[in-house]
């Protein structure tokens, strides 16, 4: 959000911006001065790209007015809202040297303080819910502290930026995964009970010092929450009274209907549970409320189960659920990183590229042995036999093909956008052979790479159809939606064989095999305009990260919660492959299903 940095010293509406005091995935917060009332305010400013959405300004104004009409001692007051110079802003009460509840929770809290905080935050949420407003992102960092007084902030901000028809599926969850309810994590429409769940997570963290279902990535956290029971609080802190544990279990019930009716009722129950007569609380809550409902084992053909998560295999030792039918949310993150590592190994080991590495003995580790065993044999990267040779000259070498008059100019000048058609021929026994294809454009969009690769695939089998597409960590999408490294798979309905086509640094390599692959995903009617995907990702909150240099790795995979739904995963990472932001997009409609940040 570099465009927001330039606002310091400028005026938006009646507010002169003094300094930046905070930032998040969707907005920046500035200290500003309002001359008319001679007061300082906190000005939350959203980037200009939100205002470009067709209905955003109207929705922003409507939501901000509703929030401005919320009056409660524990809700941060909203003074004003407006748009100026393409920016949308909200003016709020400024608290000098403000801390957040996250800061206070770094140290253990007393029982009295926990009861007090849940009562204050619960009262604020109750007031909002009665006015028909759902917070959607209740978490400690959204609770400001004025001394010992809690002030809940950021009401409705998630809804403001996610309400556009292009940014939502059915209730896009742009909240924070660590505090997100199961239904919000599944992208379902939510009601006030999603805030009750989030407040329950905060209470769990206050009592145990940890957030339940914590995982390595945001999507992994959501998946664990959907598929694993809640770790019992007393197993982490035996000093928690049993009645207090029951309050937590009810607040964190998997089914929203089993939770408290209101956050106020939850606060009252907590106070009673810590009191001298907790028996009523004990009698009213079952420990089975936090166990996800079991689904039937997965059948050979994926089926959609309305309102229920798709059954997944048992968790691995790391506790991360995997969906082997479609490689799943966690699999896609691992897959994209492994692609990058695999390409590095491939570039180092393939013949002709590194003779020293080829001919120098080395110590074979289990990992390299497995890679070597799994790597198909490849032919030397030489010109096809159909192309006549020419003596070396300073002029470009024109390599005609026996099957087409398409040519490729193989010089050190900028590559052309046309390719020599080279048919990959499997050897006996169906062992795939990597057949080289001459250089083409150095970077391509998804549509461009599919168009070119499909020509090659259909020379292998005329009925070949696209089955998989992904970028690698070495070639994330640029601002134009182009990548230098693509991996595609094409499937033949007739032979059931697969042809893997890799595009790296301007050259194709094909690896066909006719070994039967009876079941695969066919990518029909999917979005291949990857520039559009990058724009959707930016609008969903990724612009902050792309401005900082993070780029998205991309892949199409079935959605883990519905294997019939194809999705693009955009995983924003830097050079170390550490994912900082993930956007899940419906591959056919372009609707954002999930946008989650590690920050």
Map residue 467 onto helix, strand or coil.
Answer: strand
* 80 annotated active-site: no
Same domain as 535, residue 482: yes
For residues 59 and 108, state if they share a domain.
no
Residue (of 581, 576, 577, 579) closest to 592 by Cα position:
581
Residues sharing a CB contact under 8 Å with residue 425, sequence separation 6 or more, in sequence order: 433, 435
Confidence (pLDDT) at 283: 66
Total structural domains within the chain: 3
Q: Is the CB of residue 169 less than 8 Å from the CB of residue 129?
A: no
105 and 21, same structural domain? no
In a shared domain, residues 218 and 260: yes
Task: With CA atoms as reference, report the closest residue to 147 among 208, 97, 215.
Answer: 97
Element (H, E) at 236: helix 233-236
Catalytically annotated residue among 137, 154, 538, 562: 137
Q: What DSSP element (H or E) covers 59?
A: helix 56-68
Q: To 5 degrees, how large is the angle CA 203–CA 208–CA 212?
A: 75
Helix (H) or strand (E) holding 218: helix 218-227
Q: Is residue 559 in a domain?
A: yes
Alpha helices in 69-217 (DSSP H): 101-104, 111-130, 157-162, 182-185, 193-208
My answer on whether 66 and 161 are in the same domain is: no
123 assigned to some structural domain:
yes
- The enclosing H or E element of 43 equals strand 39-46
Which of 46, 65, 93 corresponds to the end of one domain?
93
Buried b (16+ CB within 10 A) or exposed e, 202-221: bbbbbbbeebbbebebbbbb
The answer as to whether 295 is a domain residue is no
Please choose, from the candidates 552, 501, 496, the residue with its C-alpha nearest in 3D space to the C-alpha of residue 522. Answer: 496
The rounded distance, in Å, linking the Cα atoms of 5 and 449 is 37
Q: What pLDDT was estimated at residue 520?
A: 76
- The number of residues in the chain equals 599
Output the pLDDT for position 576.
Answer: 66
Q: How far is residue 45 from each of residues 60, 82, 141, measured CA to CA in Å?
A: 12, 10, 18
Q: How far is CA 142 from the centre of its chain?
A: 21
Cβ(471)–Cβ(406) below 8 Å: no
For residue 60, give the CATH number of its domain. 3.30.200.20
Task: Identify whether 305 is part of a domain.
Answer: no
Q: Considering 243, 271, 290, which residue would you say is the last residue of a domain?
A: 290
The confidence score (pLDDT) of residue 242 equals 93
The domain boundary, picked from 93, 120, 136, lies at 93
Q: Let me know whether 58 and 139 are in one domain.
A: no
Position 207 in a domain: yes
Q: What's the token pair of residue 276?
A: 């001298």
**Residues 407 and 543 both lie in one domain:** yes
pLDDT at 518: 65
**347 & 474 share domain:** yes
Q: Tell whether 30 and 122 lie within a shared domain.
A: no
The reported pLDDT for the residue numbered 239 is: 95
* Shared-domain flag, residues 121 and 76: no
Does residue 598 form part of some domain?
no
Q: How far apart are CA 43 and CA 40, in angstroms?
A: 9
Strand 28-34 to 39-46 pairing: antiparallel
Give domain status of residue 306, yes or no. Answer: no
Q: Which of 443, 471, 466 is nearest to 453 (CA)?
A: 466
* φ, ψ of residue 594 in degrees (nearest 5): -155, 140
Radius of gyration of the chain from Cα atoms? 28
Residue 308 in any domain: the answer is no
Same domain, 558 and 505: yes
Closest CA to 328 of 117, 113, 131, 569: 569
**Based on the domain organization, do 449 and 577 belong to the same domain?**
yes
Give the residue carrying structure tokens 């080395």. 362
- Per-position DSSP letters for 257-320, written without gaps between them: GGS-S-HHHHHHHHHHHTSS-THHHHHT--GGGGSPPP-PPPPSS----TTSPPP-PPP-TTS-
Q: Digits of tens for pLDDT over the chain (599 positions)?
A: 456 778 899 999 999 999 999 876 567 899 999 999 999 999 988 877 666 665 677 777 777 777 888 889 999 999 998 888 888 899 999 999 889 999 999 999 999 999 999 999 999 999 999 988 899 889 999 999 998 899 999 876 655 554 443 333 333 345 688 899 988 887 788 899 999 999 999 999 999 999 999 876 667 787 888 888 899 999 999 999 999 999 999 999 999 999 999 999 999 999 999 988 887 777 666 555 655 544 333 333 333 322 333 232 333 333 333 332 233 344 444 444 444 434 433 333 333 333 333 333 333 333 333 323 333 333 333 333 333 333 333 333 333 333 333 222 233 333 333 333 333 334 334 444 444 444 456 789 999 999 989 998 999 999 999 999 998 767 899 999 999 889 899 999 888 888 889 887 677 788 887 777 666 788 999 999 999 999 999 999 999 899 888 999 999 988 766 778 899 999 898 876 678 888 999 999 999 988 888 66
Helix, strand or coil for residue 484?
Answer: coil
**Domain that residue 37 falls in:** 2-93
Task: Tell me the CATH number at 207.
Answer: 1.10.510.10
Helix or strand or coil: residue 557?
strand
């Amino acid at each position: 959000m570099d465009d927001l940095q330039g606002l310091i010293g400028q005026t938006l509406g009646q507010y002169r911006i003094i300094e930046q005091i905070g930032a998040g995935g969707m907005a920046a917060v500035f200290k500003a001065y309002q001359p008319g009332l001679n007061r300082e305010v906190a000005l939350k400013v959203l980037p200009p790209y939100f205002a470009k959405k067709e209905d955003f300004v109207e929705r922003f104004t409507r939501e901000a007015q509703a929030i401005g009409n919320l009056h409660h001692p524990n809700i941060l007051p909203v003074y004003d809202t407006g748009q100026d110079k393409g920016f949308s802003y909200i003016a709020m009460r400024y608290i000098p040297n403000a801390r957040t509840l996250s800061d206070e929770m770094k140290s253990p809290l007393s029982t009295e303080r926990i009861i007090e905080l849940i009562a204050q935050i619960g009262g604020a949420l109750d007031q909002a819910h009665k006015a028909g407003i759902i917070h959607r992102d209740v978490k400690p960092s959204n609770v400001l502290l004025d001394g010992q007084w809690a002030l809940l902030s950021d009401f409705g901000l998630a809804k403001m930026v996610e309400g556009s028809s292009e940014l939502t599926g059915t209730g896009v969850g742009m909240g924070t995964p660590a505090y997100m309810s199961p239904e919000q994590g599944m992208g379902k429409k939510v009601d006030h009970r999603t805030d009750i769940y989030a407040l329950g997570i905060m209470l769990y963290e206050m009592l145990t010092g940890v957030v339940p279902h914590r995982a390595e990535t945001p999507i992994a956290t959501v998946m664990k929450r959907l598929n694993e029971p809640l770790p019992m609080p007393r197993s982490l802190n035996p000093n928690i009274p049993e009645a207090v544990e029951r309050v937590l279990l009810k607040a964190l019930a998997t089914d929203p209907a089993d939770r408290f009716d209101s956050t106020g009722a939850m606060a009252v129950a907590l106070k009673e549970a810590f009191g001298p007569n907790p028996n009523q609380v004990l009698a009213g809550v079952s420990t089975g409320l936090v166990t996800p409902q079991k689904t039937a084992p997965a059948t050979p053909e994926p089926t959609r189960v309305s309102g229920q998560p798709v059954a997944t295999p048992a968790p691995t030792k790391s506790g991360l659920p995997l969906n082997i039918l479609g490689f799943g949310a966690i699999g896609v993150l691992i897959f994209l990183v492994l692609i990058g590592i695999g390409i590095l190994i491939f570039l180092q080991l393939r013949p002709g590229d590194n003779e020293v590495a080829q001919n120098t003995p080395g110590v074979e580790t289990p990992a390299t042995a497995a890679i070597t065993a799994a790597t198909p044999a490849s032919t030397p990267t030489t010109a096809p036999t159909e192309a006549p040779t020419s003596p070396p000259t300073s002029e470009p070498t024109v390599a005609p093909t026996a099957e087409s008059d398409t040519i490729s100019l193989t010089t050190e000048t900028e590559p052309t956008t046309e390719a020599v058609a080279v048919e990959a021929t499997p050897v006996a026994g169906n062992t795939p052979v990597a057949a080289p294809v001459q250089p083409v454009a150095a970077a391509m969009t998804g549509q461009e790479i599919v168009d070119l690769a499909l020509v090659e695939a259909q020379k292998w089998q005329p009925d070949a159809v696209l089955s998989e597409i992904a970028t690698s960590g070495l070639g994330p999408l640029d601002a134009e939606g182009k990548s230098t490294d693509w991996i595609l798979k094409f499937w033949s309905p007739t032979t059931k064989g697969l042809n893997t086509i890799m595009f790296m640094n301007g050259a194709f390599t094909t690896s066909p095999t006719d070994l039967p692959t009876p079941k695969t995903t066919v990518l029909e009617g999917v979005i291949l305009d990857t520039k559009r995907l990058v724009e959707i990702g930016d609008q969903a909150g990724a612009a902050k990260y792309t401005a900082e240099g993070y780029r998205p790795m991309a892949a199409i995979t079935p959605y883990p919660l519905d294997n019939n739904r194809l999705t693009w995963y955009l995983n924003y990472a830097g050079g170390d492959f550490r994912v900082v932001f993930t956007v899940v997009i419906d591959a056919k409609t372009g609707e954002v299903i999930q946008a989650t940040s590690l920050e």
